[in-house]
């Protein structure tokens, strides 16, 4: 693998640790109480929270949670079950710099309107264009023997899934997602990426050509020259150009 391309690590979490056991207890507490906010740092404290590198699959039970607070975490990944959090409106893993990609299932949270993500750290960022790891041989493994198709939710083994990267807009951020797919039909249901990003689902790797920052800027920025306040003043210099992003097309 190209030395500039990071390798995705599996089995990142010690599931026998005090931090993990307490986090699982917290998920159960939020579920039973029907709480609307999920903020594990407050429950675990800084020391234990720093030992959390993923979230329990049981977060899928948090149907009433509207806000997820993961600020400053050491998370390396988030399980696909986050897509089952049907009430989720706000997602905040800001300054979680080890989170370089997200599960495609997050796009299924249809109530998600706002997010705060350190996008400069993610794969495919429009400024740095961090390279996507190559997904041949399915290097991303999940806890358990089965994984569901990210589109149709069909259960399958890890060896059966076709894993692809895609870039999508969720909340107020454009992020890289990993999709587990069971068929070409499900692959074709993944929407095209926003302009200025790789338009199609892909395997990543050193051979992947990503659009340049200039190409992203050309597709997403409109230059507006304001009208002169005094048309008779020929010596007045025009104001600095203002850069305004285009409205994102769905």
Q: Tens digits of per-residue pLDDT, 132-183? A: 999 987 679 999 899 999 999 999 999 999 999 999 999 999 999 999 999 9
Identify whether the C-beta of residue 109 lies closer than 8 Å to the C-beta of residue 168: no
CA 29, chain centre distance (Å):
26
Query: In a 10 Å sphere around its CB, with 0-12 CB exposed, 13-18 middle and 19+ buried, how is residue 61 labelled?
Result: middle
Query: pTM here?
Result: 0.87
Confidence of residue 79 (pLDDT cuts 50, 70, 90): very high
Cα 66 to its chain centre, rounded Å, is 17
Average pLDDT, the chain: 90
- Mean pLDDT across 188-208: 96
Let me know: does 211 contact 198? Beta carbons within 8 Å: yes
Query: Cα separations (Å) of 236 from 47, 116, 231?
Result: 59, 41, 9
Question: The tokens of 5 are what?
Answer: 């391309």
Q: Which residues contact 63 (CB under 8 A, 6 or more apart)?
A: 84, 85, 86, 87
52 neighbors 22 (Cβ within 8 angstroms)? no
Domains of the chain, by residue range, sit at 18-245
| Percent above pLDDT 70 for the chain | 87
Work out the number of other CB atoms within 10 angstroms of the CB of residue 248.
11
């Amino acid at each position: 693998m190209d030395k500039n391309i990071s390798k995705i690590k599996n089995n990142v979490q010690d599931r026998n640790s005090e931090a993990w056991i307490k986090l699982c207890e917290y998920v159960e507490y939020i579920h039973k109480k029907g709480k609307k906010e999920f903020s594990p740092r407050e429950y675990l404290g800084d020391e234990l929270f720093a030992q959390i590198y993923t979230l329990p699959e049981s977060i899928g039970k948090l149907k009433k949670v509207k806000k997820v607070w993961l600020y400053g975490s050491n998370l390396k990944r988030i399980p696909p079950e986050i897509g089952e959090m049907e009430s989720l409106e706000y997602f905040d893993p800001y300054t979680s710099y080890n989170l370089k990609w997200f599960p495609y299932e997050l796009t299924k949270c249809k109530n998600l309107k706002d997010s705060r993500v350190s996008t400069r750290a993610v794969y495919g960022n429009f400024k740095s264009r961090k390279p996507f790891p190559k997904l041949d041989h399915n290097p991303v493994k999940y806890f358990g023997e089965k994984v569901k198709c990210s589109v149709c939710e069909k259960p399958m083994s890890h060896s059966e899934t076709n894993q692809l990267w895609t870039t999508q807009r969720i909340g107020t951020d454009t992020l890289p997602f990993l999709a587990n797919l069971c068929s070409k039909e499900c692959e074709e249901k993944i929407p095209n990426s926003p302009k200025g990003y790789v338009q199609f689902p892909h395997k990543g790797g050193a051979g992947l050509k990503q659009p340049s920052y200039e190409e992203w800027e050309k597709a997403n920025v409109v230059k507006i020259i304001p009208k002169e306040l005094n048309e008779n003043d020929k010596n007045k210099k025009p104001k600095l150009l203002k850069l305004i992003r285009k409205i994102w097309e769905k």
